[in-house]
Chain A
Amino acid sequence: MSVPTSMRVGPFTPTVLVKKRYLLFYIFLIWISIIPILLEFWFYWQWLYDPVRPVHFYIFLPLLFFLMYLTMVFTALLFAKILLGIVNAFHKPKEGVFLRDLSDKDYRYWSLRNTIKRWPVWLSHKFPFPFLDNVCFKAFGVKTTFTNSLFEGWVDCEFIEFGKNVVVGQGSIIQSAVIVGNLLIIRKTIIEDDVRIGAHAVVMPGTHIGKRSVLAANSVTIVGQELEEGYIYVGIPSKKYKKNRFFEDGLEKVLGHVKDVEGLRQKYEEMYIKRHDDHLSIKERIEHRKEIKEEEKRFMEQQEP
């Protein structure tokens, strides 16, 4: 699988809001993570460099570079983790809806946390093998296992839980925090075992995807959506499409492709044209409208004080 260049090898921690005062954290992390690799190289030089016959030195040099990169990532991780510990001691990360403004403490600490995470995550994404990624996610408190493939998508680094065997598609986005207008919404996203998330799908914060569900390509969930166990979800916003029977045995010959694509498109569109209040009687409709008005009133009353 090849990753596009213009995407800069895909995912980092998303939505980092650069503030000048947070630059110090970057500089500190970059500085501290480079020191041990210099020490490593110096030891290696002292140990193996022989100006007359530098054969050993050059033979093991590539392996040393490999090790140096790993050391850099792990030191960056360690110090980022320590910094995060200190930052979280000052202000515990929590879910909720916050104002997107510097006066809001949660918003400030959220962007600070993301700033700290960015350097190690960037480093581990720049590594061509996926395992460093998973280490990074684990260290920052995302529940994952090494059986998940999260390498090709954008995945947030906090308030996310993954089960086993999750496949995140190319360019799909899994968020636990989203900015809507002037609000920052942080909610926990839970994705259970054997979930397949299609290419370019967007999982919004608060989504709960049950076991063995599929979110098809190019579909989007809404904030706080519950996707039931064992179903295929399609569309923007995603809707229940059919039962996921593709975990059964012996389907190699049964699996078929669609011949009537235009019919299929109509089937997709029917799901959206149908409104949930189609089959309501007149009385029920009137009640429904009343409820909506009452909700609006309550909302306005809340706003006034």
Chain B
Amino acid sequence: MNNAVHNESKDEIDYALDFTTSSAISRVNVKFLAVYIPIIWLSGILIGVFWYEWNKNKPPISEDWEPWVGTLIFLPYAIISMFFIFIISCMFLSKLFLILINLIHKPREGVFRAEIGDADFEFWCLRTELKKLVMWLMRNFPIPWLDSLAFKWFGVKMDSSSHLPDAWCDIEFVKLGRRVLVGQGAVVMSSMVIGNYLIIKEVILDDYTVIGGMACVSPGTITGRDVLLGAISATVLNQLLEAGWIYFGIPAIKLKPNQLAYVSQITKSSVDDEQKVIEEEVINIEEEKKEKLKDKW
């Protein structure tokens, strides 16, 4: 009970954002159906055309069983191609819509009101909803590189050496370096809703960053090289994580220097080099031995 009194007297005018919330706004809005239905319809028609062409030259069903076997063998191929055609056409169409929307209103960083009536907020909702369909389709397909393709396609700056598929990640204002690993269930937010306000700020994760499972990365977080953010920790708004440190806790503070940082940078070529060095050394030792032996003799 004392805590409450203590805190109340303390924060008379405290507007500091020293806590983390979420950005999950998938408000139900009938407006979004106006975007979805054309995308689904047009991509569906493409599939219809494919299916029609696939079946056009097939002989009609008869007692002759040989053409049936051929059809059955290649049916999975047809289904997978149909799925890919659907995804790719959805990708192109939603990108087209996205470009059009971005022409009307350019996405920008800043603090906006999270109310219907604010242009930035409404366009942000529209953008996230638009991207959702394709992301959903790709994420339900068991090929991880499709995910990173979709992230790249919608404007996340990342390399395919980074791993995002097991996390919630915003699809704009996120920059990833090389070989970044984001853990299971982690949340990488470039937008956050606090009270009546929507905050959009770019998140930058530098090379070899590892984000632990269930961690929350707030908007504006910038991590240096080799940063490790522990599991179930959270960063606050605009937090800078210094290069080469392990951060942990809510909010994340320095725990200890990341002494295993060099491990993440070892590549196959460097391992090969090391082996070569060892071999050379062995040879040298033997030569030294020989020399010593010679001296003895």
Contact = CB atoms under 8 A, between A and B. Distances in A.
Interface of A: 1-7, 9, 54, 57-59, 61-63, 65-66, 128-131, 134, 146-147, 149, 151-153, 167-172, 196-200, 212, 214, 216-218, 232, 234-235, 239-248, 251-258, 261-262, 264-265, 267-268, 271, 274, 276, 278-279
A128 B2 contact: no
A172 B214 CA distance: 10
B180 to A, nearest CB: 16
A171 B168 contact: yes
B252 A278 contact: no
Nearest to A258: B18
Interface in B211-255: 214, 216, 220, 232-234, 236-239, 249-254
Contacts of B111: 251-253, 255
A196 B195 contact: yes
Interface string B29-56: 0001100110011011101110110000
A59 B52 CA distance: 11
Q: Among B7, B36, B151, B166, find the residue whose CB has the most chain A CB atoms closer than 10 A.
A: B7
Secondary structure of the A side of the interface? loop
Contact of A149 (B19, B27, B52, B140): B27
7 contacts: A4-B139, A62-B40, A151-B24, A171-B187, A235-B250, A257-B16, A258-B236
B23 interface: yes
B153 interface: no
A58 B51 contact: yes
B194 A214 contact: yes
Contacts of B184: 4, 6
Contact of B41 (A3, A63, A261): A63
A240 B3 contact: yes
Interface string B238-282: 110000000001111110000000000000000000000000000
A256 B170 CA distance: 22
Interface stretch (B66-74, B99-107, B128-136): B128-136
B199 interface: yes
A257 B194 contact: no
Contact of A169 (B10, B21, B28, B147): B21
Interchain residue pairs A-B with the least CB separation, the first 4: A62-B44, A246-B195, A169-B22, A58-B48
Contacts of B23: 1, 169-170
